[in-house]
């Protein structure tokens, strides 16, 4: 039997016996062999529901109103990005989706903002059009970022590292939350467009709470499988940066978003990309290198890796 995506329990790792903790670590590492894992979480449903409600209001606005919150020099790191802009690497047709992006601002003169202004832009959120949305989206961002930070403790343990290894790695990193609205597929401008073509994320891990409709598919052993996080659970997938650090032991989770056959409905999802600080050197970890696993990757900074991907998907312009 080939690898499968497993269900694990973050809370069992944090509150359970040593046996339960060990079982959780084993399940996470085996599941991440596919690039994906499904975990029980304590992410409050009310936080997600409130965010979805306000985001639905925003995406229902006229296009001209939404474009008022576009930040042309932010490379998709904040503000609104319209349909038919982001294009998966290697694809010719852009994705049929629109997005609202945000993170948490750092102080104006923080060293990271001074050195990496592209990755720490002034935040652009549609507070003027949807009153109250800023506080809700920041609360959502903090809740999911906390969940991802805690989950990285399991991964650190599984890789033979100190449990707190990733704490300094992600502290003040440019972690990005993205709301994605996929318009009804019959309204796409041309045949051949999909909601989001096959791709792997650049970051360490990505959290995908429940969406409003089906459409997410994950690639496991050459087969596309439908994936939908139920209430109380979150899908996490590994990114290219974690693949580098783990020397390939944790592969990138490849996925796409495709409208179900015959669907005339829209889809809304909110995902979060957990990033290390830009100066992090993505060199394979010593615990992941041995005679059977020689070093596969040369060192590369997180900032260089991210900017290369932003360029490749048509977001690094202006």
Within a 10 A sphere around the Cβ of 61, how many other Cβ atoms?
Answer: 16
Q: What is the pTM of this model?
A: 0.95
Rounded CA-CA distance 49/51 in Å is 5
Domains in the chain with CATH codes: 7-312 (2.60.120.330)
pLDDT in tens, the chain (318 residues): 456 899 999 999 999 999 999 999 999 999 999 999 999 999 999 999 999 999 999 999 999 999 999 999 888 899 999 999 999 888 889 999 999 999 998 998 999 999 999 999 999 999 999 999 999 999 999 999 999 999 999 999 999 999 999 999 999 999 999 999 999 999 999 888 999 999 999 999 999 999 999 999 999 999 999 999 988 999 999 999 999 999 999 999 999 999 999 899 999 999 999 999 999 999 999 999 999 999 999 999 999 999 888 888 877 764
> Strand 36-40 and strand 7-9: pairing?
parallel
Quickly list DSSP for 128-154: TTSTTHHHHHHHHHHHHHHHHHHHHHH
Contacts of 222 (CB under 8 A, 6+ apart): none
């Amino acid at each position: 039997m080939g690898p499968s995506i497993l269900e694990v329990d973050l809370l069992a790792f944090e509150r359970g016996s040593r046996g339960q903790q060990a079982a959780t670590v084993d399940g996470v590492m085996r599941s991440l062999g596919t690039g994906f894992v499904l975990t029980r979480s304590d992410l409050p449903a009310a936080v997600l529901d409130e965010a979805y409600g306000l985001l639905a209001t925003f995406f229902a606005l006229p296009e001209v109103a939404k474009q008022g919150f576009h930040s042309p020099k932010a490379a998709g790191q904040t503000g609104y990005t319209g349909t038919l802009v982001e294009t998966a690497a290697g694809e010719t047709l852009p994705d049929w989706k629109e997005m609202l992006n945000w993170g948490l601002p750092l102080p104006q003169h923080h060293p990271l903002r001074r050195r990496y202004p592209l990755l720490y832009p002034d935040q652009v959120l549609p507070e003027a059009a949807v009153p109250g949305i800023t506080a809700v989206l920041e609360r959502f961002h903090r809740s999911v970022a906390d969940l991802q930070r805690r989950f990285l403790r399991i991964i650190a343990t599984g890789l033979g590292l100190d449990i707190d290894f990733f704490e300094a790695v992600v502290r003040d990193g440019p972690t990005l939350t993205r709301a994605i609205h996929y318009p009804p597929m019959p309204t796409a401008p041309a045949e051949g467009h999909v909601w989001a073509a096959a791709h792997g994320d650049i970051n360490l891990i990505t959290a995908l709470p429940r969406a409003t409709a089906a459409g997410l598919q994950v690639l496991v052993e050459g087969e596309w499988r439908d994936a939908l996080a139920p209430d109380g659970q979150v899908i996490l997938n590994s990114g290219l940066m974690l693949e580098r650090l783990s020397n390939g032991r944790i592969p990138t989770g490849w996925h796409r978003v495709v409208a179900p056959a015959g669907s005339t409905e829209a889809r809304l999802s909110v995902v979060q990309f957990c990033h290390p600080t830009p100066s992090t050197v993505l060199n394979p970890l010593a615990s992941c290198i041995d005679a059977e696993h020689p070093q596969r990757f040369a060192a590369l900074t997180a900032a260089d890796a991210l900017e290369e991907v932003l360029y490749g998907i048509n977001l690094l312009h202006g």
